[in-house]
Amino acid sequence: MNATRPPTPAGLDPDDVALLRALATDDPLDVIARRLSVSERTLRRRARALYDHLGVTGRVAAALWAERRALLNGTERWPVPAKDRRPC
């Protein structure tokens, strides 16, 4: 049986969503890097690429972007209706 994954907003893959969820915590980057089994340098590089992809400027804006799309609680709710869209 071939299960298909539901699509995620902005073409994010499950690793991107996991990174967004990790960055939305108040944990320091070194702790997040250890949890994700990557170096802190790799985490910073991946986070910057994710911010660029989402069109946001940093960790807080990325967390707001994810929260508005209900990615932080595991309940995906997208696309965001035009009336609710706000720049991060």
pLDDT tens figures, 8-67: 667 888 899 999 999 999 899 999 999 999 999 999 999 999 999 999 999 999 999 999
The burial class, CB within 10 Å (0-12 / 13-18 / 19+), for 28 is exposed
The answer to whether 66 and 24 have CB atoms below 8 angstroms apart is: yes
What pTM does this model have?
A: 0.73
- Does the pLDDT of residue 82 top 90, yes or no? no
Torsions phi, psi for 64 (to 5 deg): -65, -40
pLDDT at 77 exceeding the cut of 80:
no
Which residues lie below 8 Å from residue 65, measured CB to CB, with a gap of 6+?
Answer: 20, 54, 56, 88
Q: Tell me, what's the pLDDT at 5?
A: 56
Domain 12-75, CATH class in plain words: mainly alpha
